[in-house]
Amino acid sequence: MMMPSRSHFARTLLMGFALLPALISGAHAEANLDAVIQDLVAANRILYRQGVVDGFGHVSVRHPANAERYLMSASLAPGRVTKEDIMEFDLDSRPIDQRGRSIYSERFIHSEIYKARPDVQAILHSHSPTVIPFGASNVPLKPIVNTAGFLSPEVPVFEMRRVAGSRSLLVTDAKLGKALADVLGNRTVALMRGHGNVVVGPNIRRMVSRAIYTEVNARLQLQALALGSQIIYLDETEARAGEENRDKSERGHSIDRTWQMWVEEAMGPGSADR
């Protein structure tokens, strides 16, 4: 048997070291994907527990290693989603590995917004009940509470009749998805008349927080409107200041604090990272 020469041994060792960063970054990417999927499952459960979605609605996140793909559950009530249900889609909303699973008919909402908004990493489409009156009337949804500054400067309304006439209100193809993405523009929330809304964010946690406080703000605004007096909304400076604080969110404050609480509520005691 030939013994490996000393130079061969050194070469092998060097190659091993050269491959090490790739191996570490591969393991890191996998761990990151796992963490993102865990947050995505939690987001589905949380939004159901918080009354933002019911049996309908869907949550997605851009793939952390491939900006041309996104992750979303197979067609299932959000309150029942597990990590085994999470599927990968391309930006034409074609499933990468369908394996006979049923998929959401309104998935084009997600792909068209990801195409139009490179800054967006997470999206919710919901039938959030309290926003419906604001999409169906000429009363605009405006920030009335400190936790909803992201509703500033305005919340546009998507009107299906303007795009495709009187028909089903579901966004079931890329053309309708693009029309909705156009109405959303660079804002964080768009209402969909007679249907619900879309909420976007730079990550899952911010998007979930925005979705919950959109529903809370709508409820408070309806109560304020019922008082029948003049309403003082947050001005743009106040709204921006609240959002900047959330951008600086540290462990145990702001989004992090509420996220840990929502995860424990939705996923059971001990499920939040500490």
189 CB neighbour count, 10 Å cutoff: 24
Long-range contacts made by residues 267-272, C-beta under 8 angstroms, separation at least 24?
A: 267/42, 267/45, 271/42
* DSSP symbol at 83: G
CA distance 239 to 228: 24
- What contacts 14, CB < 8 A, 6 or more positions away? none
Closest Cα to residue 54, out of 91, 25, 79?
A: 79
Closest Cα to residue 255, out of 211, 196, 223?
A: 211
Identify the active-site residue in 88, 106, 112, 159: 106
Tokens 């992750």 correspond to what residue? 71
CB environment 76-107: b (16+ within 10 A), e (fewer): bebbebeeebbbebebebeeeeeeeeebbebb
- What contacts 59, CB < 8 A, 6 or more positions away? 40, 43, 44, 47, 53, 72, 73, 78, 122, 123, 124, 204, 207, 208
What tokens appear for 130 in the block? 């309290």
CA distance 258 to 228: 32
Catalytic (active site) residue 106? yes
**Contact (Cβ atoms closer than 8 angstroms) between residue 210 and residue 114:** no
* Catalytically annotated residues: 106
